[in-house]
Amino acid sequence: MIENDLILRAARGISTERTPVWLMRQAGRILKEYREVRAGVGGFKELVENPEMAAEVTVQPVDILGVDAAIIFSDILVVPEAMGLPYEIKESVGPYFRKTISSSSDVIKLNVPNPEDKLHYVKEAIEITKGRLQNRVPLIGFAGAPWTIFSYMIEGGGSKTFSKARKMLYQNPTLSHQLLEKITQTTILYLKMQIKAGADMVQIFDSWAGILPKNQYETFGLKYIKEICDEINEVPVTVFAKGAWNTLDLQGNLSCNTIGIDWMVSADLARTLVGPDKTIQGNLDPCLLYAEDEVLVSETKKMLSSFGSRRHIANLGHGVYPDTNPEKVKLFINTVKDFKN
């Protein structure tokens, strides 16, 4: 039994004594302890692939910040690498793929790998983390949504527009669906491996959902998220489609437990669009963590009041920014914990 199971209960719609809270990117550069570990292994990708060290930085936010869940330290781009498309992290640039997908032959060459083989280091990191957590809080596993992974595989890295990826949807929709389906099947196997290794819930991150119009996102985004949600029934599932507030009504039909929202949509609108049968996660503006203490506390309380006491998991509307003061993060977390509806 997990001592603090607030997040699991909230995700399932079971009443909780208070609103649970965690942060996307909580294990990262905001903590000097993380920076020290990362410096010892050489870099971000090296840290991801080192199970012992990945487990260490996964647990750090639980011990230092007091969050109600840990999330395994990894990267969404381990999936395309496992499929046969390796990536690297360039300092001050971000992810970079030397080879990209541009033709049918490229897609044919990609594998739907056995994650126990290609992604064994994630499995090992989860197993080690579970031992170190000692059932204090749940452990969240995760993967990137197929559309976001597709975007990187076509584009070769980050982009303001992802115009190459979007062009592929218009010029070769058949090939696009073939690639998205391969990514989807890989992701299902990967998440099931994480659950088998000990993940207590999982989250699907669709970082670039908001760059597609609603009809396209339904066809090339949510279609494949639905496939994943329909196959994962062992643990609660969260879907976070950043920027895609105009599809919240469609997201409400997914067979997941929780819908994550960014800070651009109000709680009232999200509840109306998603419906009463889903938990909502979010959605404080990450930049509020730069504000004066009294402003941060006031805005956090406003957010909590707007969601009410039922079916809410407190989080930011996106990942915490790397130059954020950890004391501000602690203040946000403690404000949530002390709040009474």
Calpha distance 222→219 (Å, rounded): 7
**Which residue among the candidates 5, 34, 38, 200 is catalytic per the annotation?**
38
Q: Is 152 a catalytic residue?
A: yes
Backbone angles phi, psi at 171, to 5 degrees: -85, -30
Q: Which domains does the chain have, with CATH numbers?
A: 6-338 (3.20.20.210)
CA of 237: how far to CAs of 12, 22, 175, 181, 204, in Å? Answer: 10, 15, 28, 20, 8
C-beta of residue 304 within 8 angstroms of C-beta of residue 341? yes
Catalytic residue among 5, 25, 200, 311, which?
25
Question: pLDDT truncated to tens, each residue of the chain (341 aa)?
Answer: 999 999 999 999 999 999 999 999 999 999 999 999 999 998 899 999 999 999 999 999 999 999 999 999 999 999 999 999 999 998 777 899 999 999 999 999 999 999 999 999 999 999 999 999 999 999 999 999 999 999 999 999 999 899 999 999 999 999 999 999 999 999 999 999 999 999 999 999 999 999 999 999 999 999 999 999 999 999 999 999 999 999 999 999 999 999 999 999 999 999 999 999 999 999 999 999 999 999 999 999 999 999 998 899 999 999 999 999 999 999 999 999 999 87
What is the token pair recorded at 22?
A: 């965690």
Give, for 139, the enclosing helix (H) or strand (E): strand 139-144
- 38 as an active site residue: the answer is yes
Q: Report the DSSP beta bridge partners of residue 70.
A: 139
How would DSSP label each residue in 151-206?
A: HHHHHSB--SS-HHHHHHHHH-HHHHHHHHHHHHHHHHHHHHHHHHHT-SEEEEEE
Question: CA 12 to CA 235: how far, in whole Å?
Answer: 10
CB-CB neighbours of 212 under 10 Å: 25
Question: CA torsion 114→118→119→123, rounded to 10°?
Answer: 70
From the list 152, 190, 217, 224, the catalytic residue is: 152
For residue 29, indicate whether it is catalytic.
yes
The helix/strand/coil state of 136 is coil
The residue assigned the tokens 């965690």 is: 22
Q: Which residues pair with 94 in a beta bridge?
A: 90
**Interior CA angle at 115 toward 6 and 121, to 5°?**
70
Query: CA-to-CA distance for 145 and 207, rounded, in angstroms?
Result: 8
In contact, 57 and 51? CB cutoff 8 Å: no
Options 75, 200, 206, 262, the catalytic residue? 75
Q: Does the reported pTM lie above 0.75? A: yes
**Catalytic annotation present for 271:** no
Token pair, residue 209, equals 């959902």
Selected catalytic residue, list 12, 18, 29, 132: 29
Cβ neighbors of 340 (< 8 A, separation 6 or more) are 18
